[in-house]
Structure 1
Amino acid sequence: MDRETNIVGALSLVLSDEIKKAVNEVVGASGETAAAIIMLGPNGGLSAGEVAQALAITPSGVARLIDRLANDGLVVRRSGLDQRVVVLELTIEGQRLRSLALAARERVIKRCLHGISEYELKNASPILERMIKNLLVDQKYCYRFCRMCDEGACDPDCPVEEHKKSFVADD
């Protein structure tokens, strides 16, 4: 393994750890609770199964997570288009907590980017997008990539959404 490859691995691991730690402190929970809250913000209407898949947790694990979020007044369950499916949406309190968690995430990322100029970051963007696309090999995992994203930051040019379209074109 070369030095740069090793550095990418170390950076990704530590950045992920630091983001999880920061958002979990804000949310006051551990595990995938913060990711669920962040992900449900712009994606209201996801089913429990979609949330479980995105967070890589079992159906029973997501059921317990949703129960906790509902009991804490952060999520409401609604009937989907198919009455057999329950979809999830954040409450106003859930949206407020999501905003706080995203702000904590942003602070960690900005700390990581300290001393990197806007010019350097813009030039790195195509490389970072390609790295994401290299890992996104199945459309069903798209939510997993954005589970902790401030999805509005990439509108209208989200690399995951753009790559997701290629899966539809291939079908």
Structure 2
Amino acid sequence: MNDLDAKAANVLGAVGLLVAGAVREAVTGVVGAGGVLGEALIAIKDQPGRTADWLASVLRISQPGSAHLVRRLTEAGWVARGTARDGRSRPLRLTEAGERVAADALAARQAVLAQLSERLTRRQRQELVEIADALLGPEARTEQLLAELCRLCDRDSCPRCPVHAGWLRVCGRDGGGWDGGDS
């Protein structure tokens, strides 16, 4: 590995930590607790009707951890459990209060990410979009990975998501990629 390759890899790791920490802090400020509460709310918002087992796999937590998480979300009044079709797994959906908290968490996430991206020139932001497309698109090899990678995304901000496009390519459908837009 040459100096540029080593530095690029190292800097990518540092940027990842910067972004993850800033997002975690912003979402935690809204949700009132750290961990996966915010991720769970946003994942359920994006895919209502999924089960606690699905949520556990997306958040990469244990089944008991998922059960505890769903209980906390239910006790907070943010999640309602539906009627089970198979008698065991009950679909999850956000309550009105949960929808508000999820929307607030996404807004806080977007605000902190906008602050970070404002440090870049328009050209650098376009290059960042292209870099993200190159890094994220190939990772979406399954629907599960798609859900994992987008578990904290504001899908309205990203109509041509590189992760979804990558997953569509895996499925044999043209998914395009980010066009960068004007934002």
**Cα RMSD after superposing both structures:** 1.9
CA contact (8 A) 1:139 1:167 kept: no
**Which structure 1 residue ranges, 4+ long, deviate > 6 Å from structure 2?**
none
Q: Contact between 2:140 and 2:164, CA under 8 Å: does it hold in 1?
A: no
Query: Equivalent residue for 2:162?
Result: 159
**TM-score, normalising length: structure 1:** 0.89
Q: Tell me the equivalent position of 2:181.
A: none
Alignment of 1:67-146 (within 5 A): 67-79=71-83, 82-146=86-150
- Look up the SS of the partner of 1:57 in the other structure: coil
Q: CA deviation at 1:149?
A: 0.5
The whole-number CA distance in structure 2 between the counterparts of 1:80 and 1:150 is: 29
Partner residue of 1:59?
A: 63
**What residue is the counterpart of 2:9 in the other structure?**
5
Partner of 2:46: 42
> Does the 8 Å contact 2:139/2:163 carry over to 1?
no
Contact 2:139–2:166, Cα closer than 8 Å, also in 1: no
Select between 119-128 and 25-34 the one with higher mean Cα deviation.
Answer: 119-128
Relative to structure 1, the CA distance from residue 8 to residue 65 in structure 2 (aligned partners, 3 Å threshold; closer, same or farther) is same
Shift of 1:120: 2.8
**Counterparts of 2:138 and 2:148 in 1: how far apart (Å)?**
14
Q: How far did residue 82 of structure 1 move?
A: 4.5
Moved more, 128-137 or 45-54: 128-137
> Could you tell me which amino acid in structure 1 is paired with residue 76 of structure 2?
D
Q: Deviations over 1:23-57 (max 9, x none)?
A: 01210112101100112112111111111011000
Aligned residue type for 1:7? V
Partner of 1:19: 23
TM-score normalised by structure 2 residue count: 0.84
C-alpha separation between the residues in 2 aligned to 1:52 and 1:120? 36
Q: Give ranges in structure 1 of 5+ residues lacking alignment.
A: none
Local SS of the residue matching 1:89: strand
